Amino acid sequence: MTLKLVNRLQKIFHGHSSDAKSQRHIFVIGFNKTGTTSIHRLFKGNGFNSVHWDRNRLAKTMLKNCLNGKAVLHGYDKKYTVFCDMFYRNKKFFFEGNSLFRELSVDYPDALFLYNTRDIDSWVKSRLNHHRKEQGIPFLDVFKQMLNTEDHDEIVQYWKKTRTRFEADIREFFKDKNNFLELDI
């Protein structure tokens, strides 16, 4: 099934032109811990120029570009076709680049949006178990500091509420558009 998805996307995005500049962009707008690394590898292994997280630089560039009135992915959009795991974090701040789906839709009107998702409780458990340190701080500790709590339940409720609201927003935004796919991993 996954190979069929890639073949379908190759036909849609490579179209009639082999010129990389005319290729449409694919924005993988699921949250981290929803198969973003696997999706990135799948696209990359099938000939797409794909970028995954880029050690905070991807989402940091997105924020900077928005603040400076540039296209959201200016600086990345000529080199890459597929964008996955677009988040930024430091010790006190967390930004989900997928929240810019409206702006991405305006700046890249021919793009396809792929929402990768999974069962919400499994997703939360995976996030809670994500112990990888970046910039000297574990993932969960960013949210402890950001929300000023040690209570895991409070963090879990924040994640669930954020994701539920995001899903309602994207489904409403894309309901009459043909450039949105939802993939339950």
Chain-centroid distance of CA 140 in Å reads 19
Can you give the pLDDT at residue 16? 36
Short-list 2, 16, 6, 185, CA closest to 112: 6
Across-strand partners of 89?
94
pLDDT tens for each residue of 55-111: 999 999 999 999 999 999 999 999 999 999 999 988 778 899 999 999 999 999 999
For residues 16, 23, 50, 61, the Cα torsion angle rounded to the nearest 10 degrees is 180
Q: Which two tokens stand for residue 6?
A: 């890639």
For the chain, how are helix, strand and coil distributed in percent, rounded to 5? Answer: 50, 15, 35
Residue 133 has pLDDT above 90, yes or no: no
Q: Which two tokens stand for residue 65?
A: 């570009």
The model's pTM: 0.88
Can you give the pLDDT at residue 171? 97
pLDDT tens for each residue of 113-132: 999 999 999 999 999 888 76
Q: Which two tokens stand for residue 63?
A: 């924020």
